Structure 1
Amino acid sequence: MTLLRSARFPALLLLIAAIAGIVVANTPIGADVIGFMQLHVGVAGTAVDLSLAHWVSDGLLAVFFFSVSIELQFELTRGELRSFRKAVQPAIAAAGGVIVPIAIYLAITAGSGLESGWPIPTATDIAFALGVLAVFGRGLPPAVRVFLLALAILDDIVGIIFIAVLFATDVNFGLLAMAVIAVIAFAILSRMLDTRARAIIIPLLVVLAGATWVLVLASGVHATIAGVALGLAMAQSPALRVRHAIEPWINGVILPVFAFSAALVPIPSVGESGLSPAFWGILIALPVGKLIGIAGAGWIGQRVIAGAANTRIALGDLLAAGALGGIGFTVSLLLSELAFAGDRLVRDEAVLGVIGGSVASVVLAGVLVSWRARHHRALENRAPAVTTSGAAQEGRA
């Protein structure tokens, strides 16, 4: 269990699962496995009649978003986003990390009819990015990790908004109102967990969580939003305990299963027309757009927002954070499925673009993070031999 709570191993597991999905899809058994994932399980004739692939993306992934929103709740109330001063700089960088990839994607896909995929390259995979940081970032200042964590959480907020607003279909507001009532009841009961009625309350919370998920699914809003709402609504102390308990399952089962399922993509044969603009837009927008957007907006933000010079993050560290931000994976894979749900070929190419762009970002981030880590370790080793002003000057390099 300790291994599954670490930063490095889950990131490696996620990458292996995604690669395994592509490999399996392109073997003789690929068609059978893809067909199996389309097998429907549930109550026929109801909203809860889903293929296995949708049980993974709509069901299991709701648990992942539940965990993410608990972390978000903590950061907004007691963590790095609890005040405007703390949140504003990563917020500006996150905005750049969303706007520039969108601009690059739209520029590449202009006139192709595939512009609807613009949300795909806007996401950052927190677990994967922190995993790469853990592998290559020994010696980096804690401020860089904090900045990246805040940045990735804000990215997730944007992704959640995109999922909730852009991919809702024929919304049934009556069912959505019932889901809100269930969430409110869930929030109230979660604040009574430390009473003697705990044995009764826990099963009720599970029932309310399941009911919320079904109601959101049936309402036409993507079911993962149920996980977001429940995570934000739950009382913080028990929520953090629940998150700690489910973390190994999310890292060891849910995310790898989702990555494998989403990456079950036959590599398309490239004809004279080549791969679609959606593939190239995502492939380029993730590593290039995130790097330019995050580093550029972060650098500008630090000069627009007044603050002590020693609280600023050096441009080299911003570049490393920007490269880490290009690792899309989980949310980007989900956005690919949603944006091109009606066109399987384009969806598959979009998935390949996400994996290719994320792998390129991993390589780029590995190089830049290693460079910055060496730089900071060298500064530490030389610290006794230089003056304070000299060290401050080098730190801003």
Structure 2
Amino acid sequence: MSFLRSNRTSAALLLAAAVLGLAIANSPLADAAHSIQQSHIGWPGIGLDLSVGHWISDGILAIFFFIVAIELKHEFTEGDLNSVGKAIRPAIAALGGILVPIAIYLAFTWGSGYEGGWPIPTATDIAFALGVLAVVGRGLPTTVRAFLLALAVLDDLAGILFIAVFFTTGAQIGLILLGALLAVLFGFLSWRYARLRRDAVRPSQTRHRGLEWVLIIGMVAVGLATWYVVYQSGIHATIAGVALGFAMHRKPAHRARYLIEPFSNVIVLPLFAFSAALVTIPSLGETPLEAPFWGIIVALPVGKLIGIVGATLLADRILRSRQAPVLRFGDMIAAGALGGIGFTVSLLMNDLAFADNRAIADQGVLAVIIGSAISIVVSVFVVRLRARHYRALRLSEKDAA
């Protein structure tokens, strides 16, 4: 089962699913695939009447974000980002990777009437970025992956916030607060479970085994309730997974991640990649390419790279008196190139931003695909070079010893 937990296995399945989705969406099978994706499954009586595509993007994808939140919490508390000096860098890098693409997009679209698409190039597709890193980044220090993970998650959270604030109407504060309370309750139950597990090593406490199962069932029920409340509140439902992952006690969280990770790698991520990539590449014909196309296609690969590298250098300069830089300059370029893979979240925000203009939305789809593809090619080249550098460095150190 260990190979199912491998990042390389996950990346291979994810990339294969994405290629298959694009191929089917641009083949004679496209109509049948879109028909299945748009068919509805649910319980209208309780407000759950989602399409298959939305069950994937809003439902099971929350499991992946739950795992990511657990890993990120570990990095912030026990791992490579366990100090303020280390943790603040990816936050500043994420901010730079958001502001610079916005500025580039607005520079292309100012006065065109399409300025509202500025959130599109701000997203980093965490699944694809980590997938590329896993496939070609063998030998890189763990700090690079931890930095990229933190950067990408903060980036995705910013994207979800943009969706909630700028593309969502009728968000219900009461339900948002209720979701937060349920996440706190989930955290309390996990803490209580951890206490029981600790006490169970004592012979006198073995009678509490039954209570452990009650707590497990309670956590599952509260977790599902949290997702439902967050979904009904108008906020993107995957944020429930993030909240639950951060709220969960450390020890049961590690166990939950170990058990769920194979399911996420083999089913959740490939399904999500396939559904998100089920995009028909638009036939533009004689239609001129408008400002949003150029803004997106430049802002994703170029804006992300400049923003992330520039902000990381700035953070190192500000914090240099306290701590040495976390990443070398070459590693910053690798992280910046990977950050330009916007794909899924960018496609979602493109559809929301240009929902009333199908022609511009089609151009946006093409720009996101091309911009992300450019970032993938650049990141594969840079990450390979950095991985080769570190492998050679370790070999020379071993020979010197």
For this structure pair, what is the TM-score category when the shorter chain's length is used for normalisation?
0.7 to 0.9
Q: Which moved more, 1:259-268 or 1:366-375?
A: 366-375
> 1:4 — aligned with what?
4
What displacement does 1:25 show?
Answer: 1.7
Structure 2 segments unaligned to the other structure (5+ residues)? 197-207
Aligned-partner SS, 2:131: helix
Q: Of the candidates 279, 288, 294, which is equivalent to residue 302 of structure 2?
A: 288
Does the 8 Å CA contact 2:164/2:234 hold for their aligned counterparts?
Answer: no
> 2:115 — aligned with what?
115
Does the 8 Å CA contact 2:338/2:375 hold for their aligned counterparts?
Answer: yes
What displacement does 1:373 show?
Answer: 3.4
TM-score normalised over the length of structure 1: 0.86
Q: 1:140 to 1:174 in 2, by over 3 A?
A: closer
> 1:158 — aligned with what?
158
Distance across 2 between alignment mates of 1:351 and 1:183? 35
Distance across 1 between alignment mates of 2:322 and 2:232? 51
Q: Which moved more, 1:247-256 or 1:352-361?
A: 352-361
> 1:226 — aligned with what?
240
Post-superposition Cα deviations, 1:305-327, rounded to whole Å, max 9, x if no partner, equal 22489646333332222112212
> 2:313 — aligned with what?
299
Does the 8 Å CA contact 2:305/2:337 hold for their aligned counterparts?
Answer: yes
Aligned-partner SS, 1:49: strand
The two structures, once aligned, show a CA RMSD in angstroms of 2.8
Q: 1:330 to 1:8 in 2, by over 3 A?
A: farther
> 1:200 — aligned with what?
214
> 2:199 — aligned with what?
none
For residues 200-279 of structure 1, the aligned pairs below 5 Å read 200-279=214-293
Distance across 1 between alignment mates of 2:393 and 2:178? 58
1:322 and 2:336 equivalent?
yes
Distance across 1 between alignment mates of 2:27 and 2:153? 37
Q: 1:5 to 1:349 in 2, by over 3 A?
A: farther
Matched letter for residue 113 of structure 1: G
What displacement does 1:228 show?
Answer: 2.0
For residues 3-22 of structure 1, the aligned pairs below 5 Å read 3-22=3-22
Does the 8 Å CA contact 1:265/1:348 hold for their aligned counterparts?
Answer: no
Matched letter for residue 27 of structure 2: T
Structure 1 segments unaligned to the other structure (5+ residues)? 387-397
Q: Of the candidates 349, 352, 370, which is equivalent to residue 356 of structure 1?
A: 370
Does the 8 Å CA contact 1:167/1:221 hold for their aligned counterparts?
Answer: no
Does the 8 Å CA contact 1:57/1:334 hold for their aligned counterparts?
Answer: no
What displacement does 1:360 show?
Answer: 1.4
Post-superposition Cα deviations, 1:268-288, rounded to whole Å, max 9, x if no partner, equal 221322345434333322211
Q: 1:254 to 1:272 in 2, by over 3 A?
A: same
Q: 1:185 to 1:111 in 2, by over 3 A?
A: same
> 2:384 — aligned with what?
370
What displacement does 1:348 show?
Answer: 4.8
Q: 1:103 to 1:187 in 2, by over 3 A?
A: same
Aligned-partner SS, 2:192: coil
Q: Which moved more, 1:377-386 or 1:302-311?
A: 377-386
Matched letter for residue 288 of structure 2: G
> 1:86 — aligned with what?
86
What displacement does 1:121 show?
Answer: 2.1
Matched letter for residue 119 of structure 2: P
Distance across 1 between alignment mates of 2:248 and 2:179? 15
What displacement does 1:78 show?
Answer: 2.6
Aligned-partner SS, 2:47: coil
Percent identity between the aligned chains? Answer: 55
Matched letter for residue 189 of structure 1: L
Q: Which moved more, 1:274-283 or 1:207-216?
A: 274-283
What displacement does 1:170 show?
Answer: 0.4
Aligned-partner SS, 1:191: helix
1:101 and 2:101 equivalent?
yes
Aligned-partner SS, 2:193: coil
Matched letter for residue 269 of structure 1: S
Q: 1:22 to 1:110 in 2, by over 3 A?
A: farther
Does the 8 Å CA contact 1:164/1:225 hold for their aligned counterparts?
Answer: no
TM-score normalised over the length of structure 2: 0.85
Matched letter for residue 176 of structure 2: L
Does the 8 Å CA contact 2:85/2:322 hold for their aligned counterparts?
Answer: no
